[in-house]
Chain A
């Protein structure tokens, strides 16, 4: 029977065309722009000209200026630092809290099943909406988080301090000032990471639940027979067995954290000062809001692409090795 070799191409053709148009072409165009002085305010001058005499290349229009500018731009350096710390905090929180949730909900039962279903909801909330909601909830005047922290953390601590102060031994100042969460450089970044964790930790928990379910119960049974307590079982049996999944979710979350944008716009506006200006936010500001400098924005995007490619390659190799 003669194979129709064109059939697979016809079947995957539409998908390939869409990928070329929406991913490959923009990637190549951005790379091309990154070597040019290309500002939306002015008519662009590109090196490759297609005219009556065919294709001509004006090499003088190509340069690495945008790339060298990036590494001397203190705001870009700042955005790299912010993105690094945001990634560290949000990945750590997401994985740790996700693991904690997974351990709690992994057992069977109707309530646990319902909990697992509900866990997916935070991830389904749009990032922009997440940012608006968190900004609202962190408001010092009427925000629910601020209220909870005041009532359940600051309140009891102050009550305890008051009791201690009642003794004529020591005078410890009470925690009187409420924290302006989005007005403090550290807390703004931390809360931005928390808003991300709120969405991601449940999803990661579900991934861990799947991984936990695949561990042979006999391994835990053997550990118990050997006299291990719960903590020992968790740290010496469960965690090592989860290591491949932990690595995979860490890589995946890192890639997404490096791309942080939406919540910065809706929650912090990059502030206070520049404390939450992530790379993507800064690129957006330069390219589409402030300078309209598409060439420079493209160069910075490519620097981010290089970083993301490294993590993506690690992620893919981890997934393949696991399989």
Chain B
């Protein structure tokens, strides 16, 4: 009897030791099984080569998906995929040219939310695909769902890489002035003033107001929405110049006007502002979460050791709503290999693929924290690997939203970006007058497009 008990105990101990190994083994086995991803095991597209138009393929958030598991996908399906690599600055133009070209060599395209509106007519609707693949559409936050569908219910692209806005800050600096991370933009001003009063040799915040792919609008949206107004009302009339919009814009411009952000920030882009934080010259920065690793990997020890992140600030007494920026992946209608492309999309946007990519931190060049599915963002193991960053992102995405997804918005964006730039480059600019003029320009575009007929 005693020996059999021992045997049972030994067996249980052995089982306890072996199970984790078995699960790892099972993981490895699963990812090589087409059924895991709902792929066709008969390899009907064997030998097909797909071309994927995407930008910045060396950036970890994209490169990770291009490299990790790509060989496994080819082994399972016989489909090989080439990722095109274009710089971000010229990607929008190339996307439009390829999408509207009936003879394009590309089968799959990645697109940013606002850009997608111009190529919806050239994208294969993915509603049936989502259903057949058994994907849970509610596994994406409202901002990403909206950005993938535009104003309709048609799914034009699968959320692939998405970015909430986070506050990146120096914990030591805020601690030195005895302040908590700002929950509202007004707190940012208060903390900034405290940092200046303390005499510390560091800029309180690094903003980016320059004209560079319209990045100066990202945080302006948060101010506008948080304060309680919008770009348009329900009749597509511009309302960003109303009383609330004016207050939001004044607050947005105040960081440089009040000397909290360096003067040079009037010409900075997002990267340049982030460099100020990473190189230890600024205490706060509000930007996309994919930049978080830059701070944690900073060569300046006091920056890396004190790197901290919180949700982007909201509006005092108002909402904490920020812009959720999405890269979606769609399949071109004119692709000769559309079904093979959908097969690839099934693997690329599968929750297992997404989870594996963010969990694997073995190669710094491919290490990324970027995930889009709520289930992956809530995953404990994923959060453990990335110090809870996904949890912060989840909190932001719960209230995040997207921009007006109408084709004309790409025409309107430069008016808005130039207005913001004018307000900050000219300290004497009448903000109300600039906003009113911009509203007139926007109204002209909407009128010409027939929105007021």
Residues of A within 8 A of B (CB): 40-41, 139-141, 177-178, 180-185, 188, 265-266, 268-274, 284-285, 288-292
Contact = CB atoms under 8 A, between A and B. Distances in A.
A272 B425 contact: yes
16 contacts: A180-B267, A181-B267, A183-B264, A183-B267, A184-B425, A266-B89, A269-B212, A271-B425, A272-B210, A272-B266, A272-B421, A273-B211, A273-B422, A288-B93, A289-B92, A292-B118
A271 B96 contact: no
Given A139-B272, A140-B262, A289-B92, A271 B411 contact: no
A268 B266 CA distance: 12
Contacts of B276: 141
Given A140-B264, A285-B414, 11 more contacts: A41-B407, A139-B272, A183-B425, A185-B425, A271-B211, A271-B267, A289-B93, A289-B96, A290-B413, A291-B410, A291-B411
Given A41-B118, A41-B121, A41-B407, A274 B418 contact: yes
Sort A-B residue pairs by CB-CB distance and give the 3 closest, nearest first.
A271-B211, A183-B267, A140-B264
B452 to A, nearest CB: 18
B43 interface: no
Contacts of A269: 210-213, 269
A interface majority secondary structure: loop
Contacts of A183: 210, 263-264, 266-267, 425
Most B Cβ at <10 Å: residue of A40, A188, A265, A285: A40
Interface residues of B, number: 31
A113 B89 CA distance: 40
Given A271-B267, A292-B118, A182 B96 contact: no
Contact of B96 (A40, A178, A181, A285): A40
A180 B93 contact: no
A100 to B, nearest CB: 30
A141 B414 contact: no
B100 interface: yes
Contacts of A141: 262, 264, 276, 281
Contacts of B8: none
Contact of A271 (B118, B262, B413, B418): B418
Contact of A288 (B97, B212, B264, B425): B97
B96 to A, nearest CB: 6
Contact of A180 (B211, B213, B264): B264
Contact of B264 (A139, A265, A291): A139
Contacts of B411: 290-291
Nearest to A188: B267
A180 B266 contact: yes
A104 B93 CA distance: 45
Contacts of B421: 271-273
